[in-house]
Amino acid sequence: MIIEIADRTVEPLVTRIVESAHDVRTLLFSERIFITVSGDERCIDKDRLKATPGVLRVVDTGRSPYFLASRECKDEDTHIQVGESVFGGNRLVIIAGPCAVENLEDTLETAEALKRVGISLLRAGAYKPRTTPYNFQGLGRAGLEILGEVRRKVGIGIVSEVMSPEDVETTAGYVDVLQVGTFNMTNSALLKRLGRTDRPVLLKRGASSTIAELLKAAEFIVYNGNPSVILCERGIKTHETATRNTLDLSAVPVLKRLSHLPVVVDPSHATGQSALVPVMSKCALVAGADGLLIESHVRPETMIRPGDGDQALLPAQVGSLIKELRALGRVVGRRV
Amino acid sequence: MIIEIADRTVEPLVTRIVESAHDVRTLLFSERIFITVSGDERCIDKDRLKATPGVLRVVDTGRSPYFLASRECKDEDTHIQVGESVFGGNRLVIIAGPCAVENLEDTLETAEALKRVGISLLRAGAYKPRTTPYNFQGLGRAGLEILGEVRRKVGIGIVSEVMSPEDVETTAGYVDVLQVGTFNMTNSALLKRLGRTDRPVLLKRGASSTIAELLKAAEFIVYNGNPSVILCERGIKTHETATRNTLDLSAVPVLKRLSHLPVVVDPSHATGQSALVPVMSKCALVAGADGLLIESHVRPETMIRPGDGDQALLPAQVGSLIKELRALGRVVGRRV
Amino acid sequence: MIIEIADRTVEPLVTRIVESAHDVRTLLFSERIFITVSGDERCIDKDRLKATPGVLRVVDTGRSPYFLASRECKDEDTHIQVGESVFGGNRLVIIAGPCAVENLEDTLETAEALKRVGISLLRAGAYKPRTTPYNFQGLGRAGLEILGEVRRKVGIGIVSEVMSPEDVETTAGYVDVLQVGTFNMTNSALLKRLGRTDRPVLLKRGASSTIAELLKAAEFIVYNGNPSVILCERGIKTHETATRNTLDLSAVPVLKRLSHLPVVVDPSHATGQSALVPVMSKCALVAGADGLLIESHVRPETMIRPGDGDQALLPAQVGSLIKELRALGRVVGRRV
Amino acid sequence: MIIEIADRTVEPLVTRIVESAHDVRTLLFSERIFITVSGDERCIDKDRLKATPGVLRVVDTGRSPYFLASRECKDEDTHIQVGESVFGGNRLVIIAGPCAVENLEDTLETAEALKRVGISLLRAGAYKPRTTPYNFQGLGRAGLEILGEVRRKVGIGIVSEVMSPEDVETTAGYVDVLQVGTFNMTNSALLKRLGRTDRPVLLKRGASSTIAELLKAAEFIVYNGNPSVILCERGIKTHETATRNTLDLSAVPVLKRLSHLPVVVDPSHATGQSALVPVMSKCALVAGADGLLIESHVRPETMIRPGDGDQALLPAQVGSLIKELRALGRVVGRRV
């Protein structure tokens, strides 16, 4: 249950009415004041709540389980500024970079090459989610150091994944956007901790999760105090095997209709094939995406995991794609 | 197994070598001669086959199960002419119309309105696949009569579904393109019978079928003698519930890479929401689709099945969409 | 809509009230009289119907789309007699045999060996549904002749698949139970035609179909006049690849709760591994299945399609399984 | 890559050969010595490794990604002792209890009632994974205190979920088995941390995960030093909606064939319906499960989340089920 109140004078009374629940908090969001209620609602007198002066609305979170993330709560688009880029505005934001930080040289060279073609946000992982312990797990703290150095030297923003609540604070010290990977979309301990950082969060949809489940995961972050969530469609698990996952492009207009949060598309992980990345990137722009997340590396063939190279574009190819997107953007009313 | 031969003089010898299989046929396809072999291949002497003069290649259909439909067999795009429209050429072909033929008046009025906005192919069903016997099953033969009359009066081509081998011949007498619905993609008795008609076939992907399975279904039709198959992506069954199905737009470039057959996209059935049809139509054009299949009705709210109305555009909306597609086509090098 | 009436004197009046729909029929089912209504119900005066004397109940088939197949219509279990076997009674019925009829010798030998271990129903296909035209499509009519001969010589009942409405009548002349394969569960033209035969139908669940969709497919058959439908759970398509499909054993108690029709389980196609067939057969018995469909062949390694051999048990293994099932049956109150 | 060595004298040499990888460790497992290698293997001289005296085998973890969890590594069943219960032996172990710890009274009363019917392991959650922040998230530390008190007073073992690496140590102080929920099966930070505790881990299969993915998740725990992993099949996400998930019972014999680890089945979460729990529990025993995880509560109707009550059995029903399982166990050679 969420209660929107007119001003803080009603807070004590409302809090008293709902105190039988497990967790009652006051949240300032979108210049409004909400009392959020979690847990047992059975003893709360809803009629009394509604009749209380200063209570603007009582939201049934059973029916609106991602109220804070929804247009029902906030109609205008949320803009999230990262350096000079703004997610959620008219201009398409392109994040590019290698899957994992493998060493300083490659990361630096890739970042510089991408910067030259106009990219201002580098994605690269220091902590890598893997399905087996034998795959390269990322350089961890050493990877963060590399990213910090690249950020200073190149003057590029950094997007990087965090996998454990324990690493959130340290990682936030090195990067501009904290990424939640598809394997951790349902990791609510991590989502809760990310609600208490001031870094924007790029939240990837779980490969078997619905749009509503993605929005409910975003709700955990906003509810815990961080309004800056960028949603990411990255392909879902289906019976199709010709592509690694199935890019759900209809999810883009659906998410934009349901939520005020920005939406980016990751065509690299969705398709797993670099040859499909340009065409699906263009489709994503037409579908209304606010940004793209594109795998890129200066020497894809040298990447530790061979599969990662298959889906990476060269920085020059990212540059060509940007030009094509720009031409297309002019027809659909978008800047690139 | 398929054996491509240089000329018909080698046919008797090759046929003798493979005669232990269950079904051996000669197929003229794409100006070449193939001996197709179905069934038990275990006693065939493949080395002898390969060494036979006049044998150009021996195709392992275990590895290439949709050889005839693939670019491996025929690299150049197949063009399928229906009236003045050509599927597979540079110009996007738009098929539009109501889900079912309900009566002469509505069908005629819809056809005329669509013709006025530039549509030259009307889709409307006389035989309707349903999940229960209580839903309207289509007008059957009477529906075909209506379609015949609309075709004559309006001068518009007709695309209509056929569900039983017994109805193929009759239906072919009334319509220009025979449609196979998603429920019948794996109905091989129907596919085989459609291989023996001279009408083009619009083959919809099964809602849980892979791209490879769609191509194997197309192979049944081509193998049985009909080279004119139009593939249709119409959304696949996933865990997502915000849209009726999940439109698999990556399937378009993948199908175009694997196959020489034209590919159309049905955004109406895929999304189930008329509001999403224009945006997904534009994405389909950008993805490389050769055509679109769009549900349209003059009075969607009067349709017998309420759900059908939800996904239908008014003919005027189809007209506006065509204009938007035309502008977009100019950027991506396509005529609309 | 379905209207149950007390006797035929009310039939004319009821029929007149509902005549604006597309298809109105009288069905005698389970010793009761139903007026079934298909198509447009919008102009039917439901209040008048309910107030008509002799109308026992008016069923909303929107809410009860498989009413005839459900316990809501008929609470007691349907018993379907085939030779000496009864599906739906206390005794488990085991159908066994090869996937396809390949020749007289193997079929005869397999049937004799199975008969010796106590099997009285042989399953073998003359028409085979395949995903490509290059796989063995079955012997067709010649296969039916073989089955007819085996039936006479061995004195065993025959269960065999039919794939096209055109073949229903001929096939019914040779076999005791007509099987609908998983690829044709949504082939409503075939289901309708099977409603007009007097042979029992074994209806396999579509690999991506829900329990409700299976029951709606059964409804087509019962609605069209054939009350003898045996439902078959044969594994569903999931992300799991360790087994060919995922056997949905919970579907057995769910189907038995929802429907009065008998339920058999096919562990051979579900798992694709002969080693898993005995254990899953035992689970099926415990789950409440009325029967089993088990792939068996005297020489699995000689089968044309290698995969078919992998899931086949030898007749002697079927014999051992029967003994184990019998012991288990004693604990769970079932005869085998 | 994993290298099994004869004794520790070869460890320095082998470690030197593989030092270019990212992570090299020595693991004592199942009374043998393994050098495990994670990360970049490209510069490792495999021929030299294989030729090194004292190297017993070199395992390609690309082909055997869950080697430590597999029968390839260890053929005999792993037995995991928890109090007087042993997972993986002949006797079926039944864990029962409420979904969440809501208060001391209910938990204590349920534990006592379950103890009386023969249950020696109570499952109850202090940390609850939820899809929205508004659902009851568990009592956390206070819940652990309650569990500690119940354990002392009733003399029952405790199984409880842990969701964050930060909570592993504290939780391990209160409970006997640490549970990983379905939402966290791919949370590798958590799995790694659980590898460094000495408590057994009950690892639930992800709702969209394959059997191989479950085993790879188990591998993370064993690789990091904890050999005591109990696998749990709890239903997978499919298109079926009649049950909450689809219980994949074939997974039980498949897991038992592939792995030496014990396997338990959770029919309560899989089906979501208490009426299906007894029948599916019996199927699980027949399928070869080593244990069951059954939701039970003294007053299901009072549970905070209404859905939880739907799937809970009363302790007395658990008692009746135990009797039925015992009778069945005698036929299939298992003690209960």
Distances from the Cα of B194 to the Cα of B139, B157, B187, C74, C165, angstroms: 21, 19, 11, 41, 15
Between chain A and chain D, the number of residue pairs with CB atoms below 8 A apart is: 131
Name which of A208, A237, A239 is nearest C237 (Cβ-Cβ). A239
Tell me the domain boundaries of chain A. Answer: 2-59, 80-332
Name which of D242, D250, D330 is nearest C280 (Cβ-Cβ). D250
End-to-end CA distance of chain A: 40
Please compute the mean of the pLDDT values over residues A166-183 and round it to a whole number: 98
- List the single best residue of B186, B216, B237, B245 to mutate versus C (max C Cβ within 10 A): B186
A80-332 CATH fold: TIM Barrel (3.20.20)
Closest CA to B60 of B48, B71, B74, B46: B46
CA atoms within 13 A on the CB side of C9: 4
B256 within 8 A of A276, measured Cβ to Cβ: no
A323 close contact with D: CB closer than 8 A: no
What 3-state class would DSSP assign to C80? Answer: strand
Residue A75, pLDDT > 90, answer: yes
* Phi, psi dihedral angles at B246 (to 5 degrees): -110, 115
Closest Cα in chain A, distance from residue D126 (Å) = 13
Buried b (16+ CB within 10 A) or exposed e, B17-31: bbeebbebeebebee
Record: contact B133-C187, CB cut-off 8 A: no
Residues of C (149-208) whose Cβ lies below 8 Å from B: 163-167, 183-184, 186-190, 192, 207-208
Interface TM-score (ipTM) > 0.85: yes
Residue of A nearest to C240 (CA): A239
CB atoms within 10 A of CB C48: 12
Record: contact C208-B237, CB cut-off 8 A: yes
Determine the Cα–Cα distance for residues A46 and B111; give it in Å rounded to an integer.
54
Determine the Cα–Cα distance for residues D253 and D238; give it in Å rounded to an integer.
20
Identify the H or E element spanning A106.
Answer: helix A104-116
Closest Cα in chain A, distance from residue C296 (Å) = 29
> Which residue type sits at A149?
E
- Residue A217 confidence (pLDDT): 98
Residue A241, pLDDT > 90, answer: yes
Distances from the Cα of C229 to the Cα of B184, C81, C226, D193, angstroms: 21, 11, 8, 54
Closest CA to C46 of C21, C73, C67: C21
- What one-character DSSP code corresponds to residue A236? B
Q: Where are the beta strands (DSSP E) in chain C?
A: 2-5, 23-29, 32-38, 55-59, 80-82, 85-87, 93-97, 121-123, 157-161, 177-180, 201-204, 229-233, 263-265, 291-295
Distances from the Cα of B39 to the Cα of B25, C307, D152, angstroms: 12, 14, 70
Residue of D nearest to B236 (CA): D239
The low-confidence residues of chain C, meaning pLDDT below 70, are 306
Evaluate the CA torsion angle C93, C99, C100, C104 in order and state its sign.
Answer: negative
- Residue A305 confidence (pLDDT): 80
Closest Cα in chain B, distance from residue D62 (Å) = 25
Closest Cα in chain B, distance from residue D239 (Å) = 7
Name which of A23, A133, A224 is nearest D223 (Cβ-Cβ). A133
Determine the Cα–Cα distance for residues D84 and C259; give it in Å rounded to an integer.
44
Determine the Cα–Cα distance for residues D164 and D193; give it in Å rounded to an integer.
9
Between chain A and chain C, the number of residue pairs with CB atoms below 8 A apart is: 4
Determine the Cα–Cα distance for residues A231 and A256; give it in Å rounded to an integer.
10
Residue of B nearest to C22 (CA): B136
pTM above 0.95, yes or no: yes
Record: contact A330-B327, CB cut-off 8 A: no
What 3-state class would DSSP assign to A192? Answer: helix
Identify the H or E element spanning B86.
Answer: strand B85-87
Determine the Cα–Cα distance for residues A263 and C20; give it in Å rounded to an integer.
49
Identify the H or E element spanning B179.
Answer: strand B177-180
Determine the Cα–Cα distance for residues D112 and D110; give it in Å rounded to an integer.
5
Record: contact B189-C164, CB cut-off 8 A: yes
Name which of B36, B40, B187 is nearest C184 (Cβ-Cβ). B187
Q: Collect all residues of chain B within an 8 Å Cβ-Cβ radius of residue C237.
A: 208
Identify the H or E element spanning A188.
Answer: helix A188-194
C318 within 8 A of C119, measured Cβ to Cβ: yes
Closest CA to A96 of A217, A269, A227: A269
> Which residue type sits at B51?
A
Name which of C1, C131, C163 is nearest B216 (Cβ-Cβ). C131
C61 close contact with B: CB closer than 8 A: yes
C247 within 8 A of D249, measured Cβ to Cβ: yes
Determine the Cα–Cα distance for residues C101 and C107; give it in Å rounded to an integer.
6
CA atoms within 13 A on the CB side of B68: 33
- List the single best residue of D216, D237, D240 to mutate versus C (max C Cβ within 10 A): D240
Residue of D nearest to B237 (CA): D239
C70 within 8 A of C53, measured Cβ to Cβ: no
Q: What are the residues whose beta carbons fall under 8 Å from the beta carbon of D152, sequence distance 6 or more?
A: none
> Which residue type sits at C22?
H
- Residue D308 confidence (pLDDT): 73
Closest Cα in chain A, distance from residue D268 (Å) = 21
Record: contact D224-A133, CB cut-off 8 A: yes
What 3-state class would DSSP assign to D118? Answer: coil
List C5's β-bridge partners, or say none.
C33, C55
- Residue D151 confidence (pLDDT): 98
> Which residue type sits at A50?
K
Closest Cα in chain D, distance from residue C227 (Å) = 24
- Residue C59 confidence (pLDDT): 98
Residues of B (277-306) whose Cβ lies below 8 Å from A: 279-280, 282-283, 286-288
- Residue A308 confidence (pLDDT): 73
- Residue B305 confidence (pLDDT): 79
- List the single best residue of C286, C323, C332 to mutate versus D (max D Cβ within 10 A): C286
Determine the Cα–Cα distance for residues B334 and C289; give it in Å rounded to an integer.
57
C186 Cα distance to chain centroid: 13
- Token reading at D80: 């995991």
Closest Cα in chain A, distance from residue B243 (Å) = 8
End-to-end CA distance of chain C: 40
Determine the Cα–Cα distance for residues C78 and B42; give it in Å rounded to an integer.
45
Query: In the structure, what pLDDT confidence band is assigned to residue B308 with cuts at 50, 70 and 90?
Result: confident
**CA angle in degrees (0–180, nearest 5) for A143-A145-A148:** 110
pLDDT digit string, tens, across residues A22-70: 999 999 999 999 999 999 999 999 999 999 999 999 999 999 999 999 9
What 3-state class would DSSP assign to B114? Answer: helix
* Phi, psi dihedral angles at B21 (to 5 degrees): -75, 175
D224 close contact with A: CB closer than 8 A: yes
What 3-state class would DSSP assign to D317? Answer: helix
Residue with tokens 């415990």: C286
- Residue A169 confidence (pLDDT): 97
A108: left (phi over 0), alpha (psi -120 to 50) or beta: alpha
Closest Cα in chain A, distance from residue B69 (Å) = 16
Query: In the structure, what pLDDT confidence band is assigned to residue B35 with cuts at 50, 70 and 90?
Result: very high
B210 within 8 A of B185, measured Cβ to Cβ: no
